[in-house]
Amino acid sequence: MTFLIGNFFLTIGLFASFVLQAYTYVVFAVVVLSWLPIDRSHPAVRFIEGLVEPVLAWMRRRMPFLVQGGIDFSPWALLIVIQVVRSVTAGSLIEAAHRL
């Protein structure tokens, strides 16, 4: 029975790690797209920005100091939060799975 629980924790931990890593790549894509002179109405651009912009808008409202002198540091703060959450949650689940 512990084998099943261990595999369940390992699966959930690896899946959480994968999802958070994929979201990190999406945030990087939004940062790179913000530097390029491209059409913001393109469906792919709207989709990618739609995945990240609600979280960034929430962070900008809660932490207005992230926007200083016209430079928006909220994507970098989001990347830090993602990595901390990834290492704490996914890392803990994976470690718990190995101990079972």
Tens digits of residue pLDDT in 46-88: 999 999 999 999 999 999 998 988 899 999 999 999 999 999 9
Please tell me the number of Cα atoms within 13 Å of 31 on its side-chain side.
Answer: 15
- DSSP for residue 29: H
Q: What are the φ/ψ torsions at residue 55 (nearest 5 degrees)?
A: -70, -40
Tell me the residue range of the domain where 57 lies: 2-99
- Separation of alpha carbons 82 and 72, rounded Å: 17
pLDDT band at 36 (very low <50, low <70, confident <90, very high): very high
Q: Which of 96, 91, 93, 86 is nearest to 24 (CA)?
A: 86
DSSP 89: I
Overall pTM > 0.85: yes
Number of domains the chain contains: 1
Q: Are 74 and 81 in contact (CB under 8 A)?
A: no
